[in-house]
Chains A and B, each alone.
Chain A
Amino acid sequence: MKLFVHNFMSSRFLKNVTVGYPLELTVKQFVEKDIEFDRENMIVMLDKIQYEALLVAAAAVNQSDRIPAEKPPKWDELSDDQLKQFHHLLMNIDVVDGELICPETKTVFPIKDGIPNMLKVDAEK
């Protein structure tokens, strides 16, 4: 699971969860891929990103130093090099093994072989 997906995921679909965002992320293992950088696409994605949740994800892979602690005011003013840092964090880091945890119900969703499994709750119900 790439880190950008974490930014969009929420556990609101569970019963009795009102916000369910951001999900807590624990990472046991991740790999770094090399995905082509595209400035336009990156800006489109960053426009949608919730910065606080991104910081959570960056901390989970110990790479908080890649990005500023405060959200930059305008994405298209950033240089390619700065955007590439974001690109690396969002697209290149692929969590292979870990867990997503609902902040309210503490339901655990395992990430195995890079695919987060959101089905788990079904068995517990």
Chain B
Amino acid sequence: MASFKVKPEHTGPPELYYNEAEAAKYASNSHITAIQHEMAERALELLALPEGKTGFLLDIGCGTGMSSEVILDAGHMFVGVDVSRAMLEIARQDEDLESGDFVHQDMGLGMPFRPGSFDGAISISAIQWLCHANASNENPRKRLLFFFQSLYGCLGRGSRAVFQFYPENDEQCDLIMSQAHKAGFNGGLVVDFPEAAKRKKVYLVLMTGGVVQLPKALTEDGDDERTQIDNAGRRFVWNSRKNEKVVKGSKAWIEAKRQRQIKQGRDVRHESKYSGRKRKTKF
């Protein structure tokens, strides 16, 4: 998908983009299938489900069920949610997916499940669709937040949600993560193969409850000798702006103002070691 000249989410709402023709194309394209398969496997790995136990998973933006198939192969159960009916109809006809089930819903309207339903959630190339407004009454910020809140509600405590997506830019990453954080999730990005343009894959790993260290990212040579910076990706940053702004009335602030006024050609006092100093208390 990274090779598309125009990102599909820029062209319009997902339920229109993934119409019958596009859905059929999508399902039968072996290249897409292979990549989706690989990413779903990695997402499942990042979920870190307890070994040997069957999990009940949510597949968000399941499409024609490629990622759902991976869930079944790993011995788990699933419910898939997607906004494109054409995709779901193809998924339902797939005999391999018979033991799971599908629900037609828009992520931004919230997950229609009761609290504590699932042991985890995965989502392959879906969440970026939420970052665009397709109608005047849609606010991506609100939709993301509402989505994360409802997802937080329907996940069991201590479970994870892993989202694979193709971030457009840093702002988009920040937006998604700040909304996830607001909804109560902990976590951050795991970037696999950060040096390789084509193989690079971004996974947003969200956790309910408790701060747990992020799983390690994969690299080209597969060794563990990676630097901390790569692995940490971007975490939620608190008050990142605070450091930039100079306190009003401070010496630095006065000097900046003086410089500004010199530039404007105004008449200003000369620089002095006394400016900005505190006066002595009056006797």
Contact = CB atoms under 8 A, between A and B. Distances in A.
Contacts of B111: 13
B53 A119 contact: no
A113 interface: yes
B101 A1 contact: yes
B88 interface: yes
Interface in B69-88: 77, 79, 83, 85, 88
Contacts of B181: none
Contacts of B261: none
B98 A33 contact: yes
B136 interface: no
B105 A118 contact: yes
A5 B114 contact: no
A116 interface: yes
Contacts of A119: 83, 104-106, 109
Interface in B46-69: 53-56
Contact of A8 (B88, B106, B117): B117
Nearest to A113: B89
Give the residue among B54, B101, B112, B113 with the most A Cβ atoms within 10 A. Answer: B112
Contact of B104 (A2, A40, A116): A116
A9 B112 contact: yes
A114 B109 contact: no
A45 interface: yes
How would you classify the secondary structure of chain B's contact residues: helix, strand, loop or mixed?
mixed
A113 B117 CA distance: 24
A54 interface: no
A116 B88 CA distance: 11
B117 A122 contact: no
Contacts of A86: none
B99 interface: yes
Interface of A: 1-2, 4-5, 8-13, 21, 33, 35-36, 40-41, 44-45, 48, 50, 91, 113-119, 121-122, 125
Interface of B: 53-56, 77, 79, 83, 85, 88-89, 92, 98-99, 101-106, 109-115, 117-118, 137, 146, 150, 153-154
Contacts of A118: 103-105, 109, 112
A41 B117 CA distance: 15
B106 A11 contact: no
Contacts of A48: 56, 117
Contacts of B98: 33, 35
A50 B115 CA distance: 11
A2 B102 CA distance: 9
B153 A12 contact: yes
A8 to B, nearest CB: 4
A10 B114 contact: yes
A76 to B, nearest CB: 13
A41 B77 contact: yes
B77 A45 contact: yes
A50 B114 CA distance: 10
A115 B92 CA distance: 8
A24 to B, nearest CB: 14
A21 B105 CA distance: 17
Contacts of B112: 9-13, 118
